[in-house]
Amino acid sequence: MAAQRADVTRLLARVQQAGASNFQDDPSAKGELLHTLDVLKREIEGPAAYLSRVRQAPLLNMCQLMAIEMGLLGAIVKRKGQSVDAHTLANDINRDELLIVRIMRLLTVHGFCDETSVRQYRSNANAELLNTPGMMGATRNMVELLYPIGGKLKPLLRETKAAGQAPSDLQSPYKYTFGTSLFDYLEKDAEHKVYFDDWMSSRRAGLRREWFDLYPIESRLVAGTDQSREAVFLVDVAGGKGHDISRLNSRFPGLPGRLVVQDLPRTFENYVAPEGIEANAHDIFTKQPIEGARTYFFRSVFHDWPEFRSLDILAHTAHAMKPGYSRLLIEDLVLPDRGADMRQASLDMTMYFMPEGIERTAGQWKDLLERAGLQIIKIWSDGSGMESVIEAELEGTMRTPS
């Protein structure tokens, strides 16, 4: 007990020291403070309470989904910070009052809405963000597509062990559960495809930096760019509906050359490209149709795919690149070799369970790119552990696309 008190006292001192710094402007210091607070909470809880809290975490996600689907969350948020009681909410959304109270009990204790009095609730910043299309899409996909996998893990592991093999791409948790890959599933399920696209489009919510805040685009790319009208300055590969490339265009109006966003044909159905942006339907596992562009940009693409699939994407890209001119930019996570934080470790396992992908360390990125005939010039990181831009160029002999 004395040792535990000493640990708590030491951790409190570290929190006070970190809190006195300007941590909001220093991603590394902010990450260290959050990590220390997590450790402090575990020390105070003790193992039994900590394990109980972790075990019950899925209940929060399910209550979030219920609040979204029942219209409960929207009914609270639309009042713009005004308190509302459970009876009024029950009448508004035609749901059982007691069930509303039970759901809100868990949501408020986790900071999603404030409990202003007995059976009275008020929205807050967390509730307002959760009520956006992107966050609702994320919640729906995580609960409806990830949780069923948990019920299949035991038979999957038993079968692969009996066969003397580890789960592979052909026997991934997602394919084992749903009978197809995540992206093939989404192409056939229009509802979840919308949820997924909304989720991906909103992933920068709350992040203050864009990739071009981190990476010096003017000195690294604009300088030396082909100035002819038909030249392509940047191809946003698998760029969804062009949110990233549109923000780039807004920040740097008048960039030399064309700006092109590529994605699957379904993404561009009933789609109007943002001003200054061209849409080009393209499957990343086929030949890259735009050759000799200044920049091929991939944001959060390669972590979706295992090694052999990532190599195919890179091979098609490398064969389209112009030696000595084209650059490959990858905005993605770069894991530390040790000491990954909760977000990094969780995202890596999300990639394993859902799209069969992986988050990579700097060494793994180097190996992957070199196998595709590319070399890393520099990795630009913001210190948060979540934002990095990898700059690469052609090197040596390129592998032939499969």
- Residues with a known catalytic role: 303
Cα separation, 1 vs 19, in Å, equals: 27
3 burial (CB, 10 Å; 0-12 / 13-18 / 19+) is exposed
Assess contact for 223 and 248: CB atoms under 8 A.
Answer: no
Q: What are phi and psi of 395, to 5 degrees?
A: -145, 130
> What is the per-residue DSSP string for 45-106?
H-HHHHHHHHHTHHHHHHHHHHHHHHTHHHHHHTTTT--EEHHHHHHHHT--HHHHHHHHHH
| DSSP 8-state secondary structure symbol assigned to residue 293 | -
User: What SS3 state is found at 168?
Assistant: coil
Cα separation, 359 vs 306, in Å, equals: 10
Residue 255: its H or E element: none
User: What SS3 state is found at 262?
Assistant: strand
Q: What region does 181 belong to: left with phi over 0, alpha with psi -120 to 50, or beta?
A: beta
Cα separation, 167 vs 401, in Å, equals: 25
102 token code pair: 């039970």
